[in-house]
């Protein structure tokens, strides 16, 4: 275990993707398969949040996240991309490291959206 919400199974290295939507889709599939969550629900949560503004934070890093009503504990995924992609971050640097977090809607006071 790397952290309380990130284990070895949650890490994906050298993911091949064509862009932000493709990356989020592949990450959502991976999370859904590992956790048993509905793939479309995970993807919708990530896309809905991304529509509010890019979760790219700069220096090649993005932290896409979503609040979900169907989970009782946090879920995380760390993905290193094979090639950097545009994530519309504040510094316009392409992203190659994506830390995805799904948080229970019931615990929003402990979450920083």
Active site residues: 65
User: φ and ψ at 92, to 5 degrees?
Assistant: 60, 10
Q: Which residues contact 2 (CB under 8 A, 6 or more apart)?
A: 8, 10, 11, 78
Measured CA to CA, the distance from residue 70 to residue 49 in angstroms comes to 16
b vs e for 19-58, b when ≥16 Cβ sit within 10 Å of the residue's Cβ?
Answer: ebeebbbbbbebbbeebebeeebbbebbbebbeeebbbee
Name the β-bridge partners of 107: none
């Amino acid at each position: 275990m790397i952290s309380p919400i990130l284990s070895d199974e949650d890490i994906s290295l050298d993911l091949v993707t064509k862009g932000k939507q493709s990356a989020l889709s592949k990450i959502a599939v991976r999370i859904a398969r590992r956790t048993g969550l509905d793939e479309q629900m995970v993807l919708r949560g990530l896309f809905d949040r991304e529509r509010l503004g890019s979760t790219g934070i700069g220096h090649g890093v993005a932290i896409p996240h979503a609040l979900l009503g169907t989970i009782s504990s946090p879920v995380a995924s760390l993905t290193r991309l094979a090639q950097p992609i545009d994530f519309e971050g504040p510094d316009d640097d392409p992203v190659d490291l994506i830390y995805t977090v799904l948080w229970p809607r019931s615990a929003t006071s402990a979450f920083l959206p």
